[in-house]
Amino acid sequence: TQLLEQSPQFLSIQEGENLTVYCNSSSVFSSLQWYRQEPGEGPVLLVTVVTGGEVKKLKRLTFQFGDARKDSSLHITAAQPGDTGLYLCAGFSGNTGKLIFGQGTTLQVKP
Amino acid sequence: EPEVTQTPSHQVTQMGQEVILRCVPISNHLYFYWYRQILGQKVEFLVSFYNNEISEKSEIFDDQFSVERPDGSNFTLKIRSTKLEDSAMYFCASRRTGTATGGAYNEQFFGPGTRLTVL
What is the pLDDT, as a whole number, of residue B61? 96
Quote the pLDDT of residue B102: 52
- State the pLDDT at residue B98: 59
Terminal CA-CA length for chain B: 37
HSE (side-chain half, CA atoms, 13 Å) at B94: 22
B6-25 residues touching A, CB cutoff 8 A: 6
Does residue B29 contact residue B94 with C-beta atoms inside 8 Å?
yes
Cβ distance A96 to B102 less than 8 Å, yes or no, reads no
Residues B23, B33: Cα–Cα separation, whole Å = 10
Compute the nearest-CA separation of B17 from chain A (Å): 24
- What does pLDDT average to in each consecutive run of 10 residues of chain A (111 residues)? 92 97 93 93 93 94 95 97 96 86 96 95
How large a percentage of chain B has pLDDT more than 70? 92
Q: What mean pLDDT value characterizes chain B? A: 91
- 3-state SS assignment for residue B33: strand
Q: How confident is the model at residue B19 (pLDDT cuts 50, 70, 90)?
A: very high
Question: Is the separation of the CB atoms in A45 and B107 below 8 Å?
Answer: yes
Report, as an integer, the average pLDDT of B21-46: 94
B35 touches chain A (CB under 8 A): yes
For residues B21-26, average pLDDT: 96
What's the alpha-carbon Rg for chain B, to the nearest Å?
14
Q: pLDDT tens-digit profile of B91-119?
A: 999 998 655 555 556 789 999 999 999 99
* Predicted pLDDT at B96: 85
Output the pLDDT for position B72. 78
Q: Can you tell me the mean pLDDT for B39-52? A: 93
Average pLDDT of the residues in B68-84: 93
Q: Using DSSP bridges, classify how beta strands B44-50 and B31-37 pair: parallel, antiparallel or unpaired.
A: antiparallel
pLDDT value at position B107?
Answer: 86
Better-predicted residue by pLDDT, B70 or A111: A111
Report the gap between the CA of A95 and the closest CA in chain B (Å): 5
Identify the sign of the CA torsion B47, B27, B110, A40.
negative
Q: Which residue has the higher pLDDT, B56 or B97?
A: B56
B84 at interface of A, judged by CB pairs closer than 8 A? no
Contact present, A97 and B100 (Cβ < 8 Å): yes
The pLDDT of residue B104 is 59
